[in-house]
Amino acid sequence: MSKPPPFIVARDQRPGSGDIRILSRRYAKGELVRVRRGVYLAKQYWLSLTPWERYARTTEAVALELPTAAFCYETAAHVWGLKLLGVPSHVHLAVKSPSHAGAGKATTTAAMQARSGNTGLEDVRGYGIFRHCYAGSPVHHRGLNVTPLLQTAVDVMARSSFAKAVVLADHLVNPLHFKGISTVKADLHGAAKGLHSSSRQQQVARVIDFADAQSGSPGESLSRAQMHLLGFPRPELQLGFQDSDGFVGRADFFWRELRIIGEFDGGAKYLQDEYLHGLSAREVVLAEKKREDRLRALGFTMVRWDWPIAKDPAKLTRKLVQAGLPLGKAKNKKLRLL
């Protein structure tokens, strides 16, 4: 992976050299985007980024603009590498004074071009700053000041729906993800006791108790949380299967008594090099089909779904009921889309 280009920072330009005027002209010509005040990147590069990449670079730009800034909530979670569903709308900062708290609009801008009459950013989401009155001491991680990992995790879980919180918690309790930092459930329960609201403490405790390090991906975590809320029986995770030819593979979800196997297809294993293992996407699809045929031959019912279904309780319900799963009493009558 190539290293991303560095920011062009106005205060670093040589005084009296004319560099500032050159920077202004490049911005006026539409070559640069002002990510934050005095912090620039090439416009074409900015437009090539995914929303998550733009969010990460906006966070870096805020740190350049405000060197003493301390990041909290979802922004700190992203810096730590915790899994989140959906790009946050703001970069979250911790401040000491309540008079400085509040949300600001996105400030990423590009110059209006006379020929086209637009900036090129009309359909590109920007991220403002949300300042929170926050008590706590930040730590230094990946070059940024952030709230500590466990504190960040419980803070975000307390602000999230059950399903979104489970995605984060499943990732956190997996010992492979944060080596050198204890993230066992007892540690998380201890951190949750620092939340000011008892109802928030109970909310986060339920998520921690439900978390499972066996979950293989955010999509699987989301699916399992939705199943729980909808009242479906709890599945076994990542169970391995064999036939007369040997090992077949591991299933995302397995309902033993019903002989039903569930699989979440996020798309990454068919598209991203790290999951292809040197194979083409077509070869991976064919291998997956052969794997599924071997599992069906063992007498199992197979059911598959993707992100749009996992996010929609009604669609997921239809999919699982059609496969033969019994639907119990929903845990939450006011299920909402993610």
How many Cα neighbours within 13 Å face the side chain of 197? 9
The pLDDT, as a whole number, for residue 7 is 96
Is residue 86 within 8 Å of residue 338, measured between CB atoms? yes
- Euclidean distance between CA atoms 7 and 227, whole angstroms: 44
The pLDDT, as a whole number, for residue 268 is 53
The pLDDT, as a whole number, for residue 270 is 44
The pLDDT, as a whole number, for residue 189 is 97
Residues in the chain, pLDDT under 70: 1, 15-18, 267-281, 283-284, 332-338
The tokens for 44 are: 């074409």
The tokens for 334 are: 């006011």
The DSSP-derived string for 102-118 is: EE-----B-PPPTTTSS
Residue 222 CA, chain-centre distance (Å), reads 11
CA-nearest of 266, 274, 258 to 324 is 258
CA-nearest of 322, 338, 320 to 167 is 338
- Per residue in 12-56, pLDDT (tens digit) is 887 666 678 889 999 999 999 999 999 999 999 999 999 999 999
- Euclidean distance between CA atoms 320 and 264, whole angstroms: 12
Q: Give residues with Cβ within 8 angstroms of 304, minimum separation 6.
A: 262, 263, 264, 265
Which domains does the chain show, CATH number per domain?
149-213 (no CATH), 218-323 (3.40.960.10)
Is residue 164 within 8 Å of residue 82, measured between CB atoms? no
The pLDDT, as a whole number, for residue 219 is 97
Quickly list H helices, 137-244: 149-159, 162-173, 185-192, 198-210, 218-230
The pLDDT, as a whole number, for residue 21 is 87
- Per residue in 242-253, pLDDT (tens digit) is 998 999 999 999
- Euclidean distance between CA atoms 243 and 73, whole angstroms: 47
The pLDDT, as a whole number, for residue 194 is 93
Confidence (pTM): 0.89
Q: Which residues pair with 145 in a beta bridge?
A: 70, 140
The pLDDT, as a whole number, for residue 279 is 60
